[in-house]
């Protein structure tokens, strides 16, 4: 079962990598692509680049928007996109770098049917963060995964999926997602690492780990799961959010 699962993910990765890469659609192009990827204040430039690589290889059309550009979009503009992705980074700076009207517009856009994928900092930002957070979680505020309290800042963590073998994922200062949504993946201590659910008409997937992490993030850590397998899982999360498709859950 484990080998069949890995082979299936590997086949998906090969299929994606054999496609011609796409480039970001400029915000001034006059057309809205499928995905809006935030790359503004507080985001990790390396994580933005990792997500862009997967979007390009998967031929998923996207635009990027920094904080000022996002501040310039009203709810009607945001509702033109199928999916908004908020990557890893400092969620306190995400919110503090945006106008309150902007986070309200983002919240309303999701409530009216735009999907949301939040990774690490983007998952914190989706909760009831006091730093101008989105509160897509009906008041639930997320805390850090338990190894943070032991002084661990980044490590390989086996994430167990529903009915699938555990995959070693890159974790860095990420949340555990107790109290909201259906649990798609669990940390070794049993707390939720990946969750899914709805806010109004919007479909939301939140991840406390980085399946999109490139190989060069793995230095000094022991992974039994190849990066290409984790990348295939990251694409699964992106497509599930884009297509509003529930993933197997506990």
Q: Which tens digit of pLDDT belongs to each residue from 55-71?
A: 999 999 999 999 999 99
Contacts of 44 (CB under 8 A, 6+ apart): 87, 88, 89, 121
Q: Which tens digit of pLDDT belongs to each residue from 150-187?
A: 999 999 999 999 988 999 999 999 999 999 999 999 99
11 has a pLDDT exceeding 90 = no
CATH architecture for segment(s) 2-242 = 3-Layer(aba) Sandwich (3.40)
14 has a pLDDT exceeding 90 = no
Averaged pLDDT for residues 18-25: 64
**21, 43, 59: which is closest to 238 by C-alpha?**
59
**145, 132, 83, 142: which is closest to 110 by C-alpha?**
83
Q: How far is Cα 231 from Cα 9, in angstroms, rounded to an integer?
A: 9
**27, 80, 26, 85: which is closest to 58 by C-alpha?**
85
CB 217 within 8 A of CB 155: no
Structure tokens at 227: 């990066």
Q: At what angle do helices 2-17 and 227-242 cross, to 10 degrees?
A: 80
Can you give the pLDDT at residue 2?
43
Can you give the pLDDT at residue 167?
98
Provide the percentage of residues in the chain whose pLDDT is more than 90: 88
Averaged pLDDT for residues 239-243: 98
Q: How far is Cα 148 from Cα 247, in angstroms, rounded to an integer?
A: 27
- The dihedrals phi and psi of 35, each to the nearest 5 degrees, come to -125, 140
- The dihedrals phi and psi of 232, each to the nearest 5 degrees, come to -60, -40
Give this prediction's pTM. Answer: 0.92
134 has a pLDDT exceeding 60 = yes
Model confidence band, residue 22 (pLDDT cutoffs 50, 70, 90)? low
Can you give the pLDDT at residue 140?
98
Structure tokens at 72: 């310039």
How high is the mean pLDDT of the chain? 93
């Amino acid at each position: 079962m484990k080998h069949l699962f890995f082979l299936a993910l590997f086949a998906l990765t090969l299929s994606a990598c054999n496609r011609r890469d796409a480039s970001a659609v400029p915000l001034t192009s006059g057309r809205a692509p499928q995905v809006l990827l935030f790359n503004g204040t507080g985001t990790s430039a390396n994580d933005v680049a990792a997500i862009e690589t997967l979007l390009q290889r998967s031929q998923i059309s996207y635009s990027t928007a920094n904080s000022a550009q996002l501040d310039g979009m009203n709810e009607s503009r945001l509702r033109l996109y199928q999916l908004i992705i908020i990557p890893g980074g400092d969620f306190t700076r995400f919110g503090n770098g945006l106008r309150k009207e902007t986070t309200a517009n983002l919240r309303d856009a999701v409530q009216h049917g735009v999907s949301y994928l939040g990774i690490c900092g983007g998952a914190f930002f989706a909760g009831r963060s006091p730093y101008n957070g989105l509160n897509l979680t009906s008041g639930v505020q997320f805390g850090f995964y338990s190894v943070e309290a032991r002084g661990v800042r980044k490590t390989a963590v086996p994430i167990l999926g529903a009915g699938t073998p555990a995959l070693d994922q890159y974790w860095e200062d990420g949340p555990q997602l107790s109290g909201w949504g259906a649990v798609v993946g669990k940390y070794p201590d049993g707390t939720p690492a990946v969750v899914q659910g709805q806010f109004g008409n919007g479909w939301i997937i939140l991840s406390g780990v980085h399946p999109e992490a490139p190989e060069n993030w793995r230095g000094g850590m022991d992974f039994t799961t190849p990066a290409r397998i984790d990348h295939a899982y990251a694409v699964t999360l992106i497509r599930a959010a884009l297509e509003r498709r529930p993933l197997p859950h506990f």
